[in-house]
Chains A and B, each alone.
Chain A
């Protein structure tokens, strides 16, 4: 683990960190898919729709002028404690271990990290009784979901990111608490933030190599469950959606068992109606772009 004191105050100059907003202001919340098909040169119609919707949410984020993005990607999954990305400027190329043979399997990334926010968030997590670890290593593999979302939400790589890993052993309540702690840390620093989770919905992958026009949600049951959950979010009933999370996870093989939704709930979504900007299949899985304006 890198000594936090070494990197304190080393936020990238591209990170538009300011202290002008109301403390802890959450100016937007989003759920976006993280599969790389959204970047395909020859996309399926649903991939195009989801990519365009993610760009639309990126424009809304830009219009909200946040200081930082509080981020979770289910594709950076861990099992011991909670890791916080501490590299002030991750950059490089990631070759996806499954989709390497496609144009969208080679991904470039270069974005700033809000190191001050990360350190505050990690410290707050420790104080809350959870184990936190700062992660700052040359060659650390940034996950596909983080890169894909970044390219669509913030193609110029200007927004400072504060990212925590998705602990697959963490209960849902812990994921909610983690996001709350991220928002609290932002408040202490006077940051205005958007909270973003990169995750799919149902995760039934089609187990063969398909052409884009063959893409469908793997099963009607998965589709029904996805739609039911999105309807709850549209109605502003996050509490009901969370109450059904476990059943949904079991019935529709939900990405990371729905930990992304639990995380987003920590941004304060009670009664806030979601705007489902797009929903559709990605290689059999369910993908949705959802925006909340608190």
Chain B
């Protein structure tokens, strides 16, 4: 029987998933997903099938509704006093880079709260619009959304996923409510919503058990890249994930009371730092082993596969990720990170090598 949330790891089965076989065994190249990749991808180079489409950047883009709530955008009904500024300032820098440097045709987001029980679904509705009242955090997020889907690319991703052997489906039903992980990441990256979007579901389930392994997510990443190349898009990817994910089971009377905000425990924090140090050092291929370990140690939300999907799509590039900010939200670890897979001039952060976080 479970015990007190604050004294033990509280949800022994809720967010646990079996790690990807290949990644855990330390023999990542044997995984089915990697078998499908080319030698160029093995070197961390995105496959260029026709030389047109490309992934110009990928962001780890956490979606806690608290960040949207704290910003008080006109699209969201609740009002706040602010809060979580470090993460929101990180997003401000990401927004600037997105508009000034990357100038993408499309942002593709994989989000863990569009939960699909069977298969990987891609939103192919041309103009999703409505109000998303979030059932878990309705007091924080009641967001009026209205954006445009890159339908051609969305359909191409479904086709490529299907060709790769995944169960995939076009979602063409405008009545399906857009989830907060999709809205959160996309709003925080581009509150103007003036760049077309493709959103992908997560084939896992927090009240059942996870069903899609990380190897499936890697396959989905490769399929996504192929679709981008085939359609000639200049794409930015967004992995809508927090890192460590144990958190409080209650909240302060004022949700944005920052006096209550800190890591759930030091173990979670250290594991987040361990992962981020590998990111900052550009040891991207190591992440294929580290991600499942991080999930096992912290019930990490990256178990939904968004980060693995994105890094696989970019070919696990051995370039440093730029950690724009890290902080906690209700105790979970959240980092805004940018990768530019084609950029080789960004050097690894020296401190990342020097600190050497220990288990």
A interface residues with partner B (beta carbon < 8 Å):
1, 74-81, 83, 93, 95-101, 105-106, 131, 133, 135, 137-141, 143, 165-173, 203-209, 242, 245-246, 249-250, 253, 255-257, 283, 285
Contact = CB atoms under 8 A, between A and B. Distances in A.
Nearest to A76: B135
B251 A131 contact: yes
Nearest to B10: A169
Given A169-B5, A207-B119, A100 B171 contact: yes
B167 interface: yes
A170 B13 contact: no
Interface in B246-301: 247-251
B253 to A, nearest CB: 10
Contact of B173 (A100, A138, A169, A171): A100
A123 to B, nearest CB: 16
Interface string B167-178: 101010101110
Interface stretch (B21-29, B32-40, B97-105, B206-214): B206-214
Contacts of A245: 1
A141 B118 contact: no
B55 to A, nearest CB: 27
12 contacts: A79-B249, A98-B115, A98-B116, A101-B169, A137-B142, A166-B207, A168-B14, A171-B4, A171-B10, A172-B1, A173-B2, A203-B209
Given A83-B138, A133-B139, 17 more contacts: A75-B207, A76-B135, A77-B206, A79-B249, A80-B248, A97-B201, A135-B138, A139-B133, A140-B138, A168-B11, A203-B208, A208-B119, A209-B119, A246-B1, A249-B13, A255-B208, A256-B207
B131 interface: yes
Interface string B202-235: 0101111101000000000000000000000000
A81 B249 contact: yes
Contacts of A172: 1-2
A253 B175 contact: no
B176 to A, nearest CB: 5
Q: DSSP majority for the B interface?
A: loop
B354 interface: no
A82 B200 CA distance: 30
Nearest to B139: A1
Nearest to B142: A137
A74 B250 contact: no
Nearest to B169: A101
A172 B167 CA distance: 35
A253 B117 CA distance: 14
Contact of B142 (A96, A139, A170): A139
A95 B177 contact: yes
Contacts of B14: 168-169, 257
Contact of B136 (A79, A105, A207, A253): A79
Contacts of B251: 80-81, 131
Contacts of B114: 97
Nearest to A210: B118
Contacts of B13: 249-250, 257
B136 A80 contact: yes
Nearest to B116: A98
Contacts of B203: 207
A168 B299 CA distance: 13
A253 B208 contact: yes
Nearest to A134: B139
Nearest to B249: A169
A206 B10 contact: no
Nearest to A208: B167
Contact of B135 (A78, A167, A249): A78
B330 interface: yes
Contact of A141 (B4, B133, B171, B248): B133
Contacts of A95: 173, 175-177
A79 B179 CA distance: 16
A185 B176 CA distance: 36
B305 to A, nearest CB: 14
B359 interface: no
Nearest to B2: A171
B208 A207 contact: no
Interface in B133-154: 133, 135-139, 142
A215 to B, nearest CB: 12
A195 B141 CA distance: 31
B223 to A, nearest CB: 17
Contacts of A249: 13
B174 to A, nearest CB: 9
A246 B1 CA distance: 6
A230 to B, nearest CB: 19
A84 B117 CA distance: 26
B207 A168 contact: yes
A173 B1 contact: yes
Contacts of A257: 11-14
The 4 closest A-B pairs by CB, nearest first: A95-B175, A171-B2, A203-B208, A253-B209
A168 B5 contact: no
B176 A77 contact: no
A211 to B, nearest CB: 13
A256 B2 CA distance: 13
B86 to A, nearest CB: 22
A143 B135 contact: yes
A105 B169 CA distance: 15
A101 B12 CA distance: 33
A207 B206 CA distance: 16
A257 B121 CA distance: 26
Interface string B18-59: 000000000000000000000000000000000000000000
Nearest to A78: B136
B2 A207 contact: no
Contact of A207 (B167, B179, B207): B167
A42 B52 CA distance: 46
Nearest to B167: A208
A260 B142 CA distance: 28
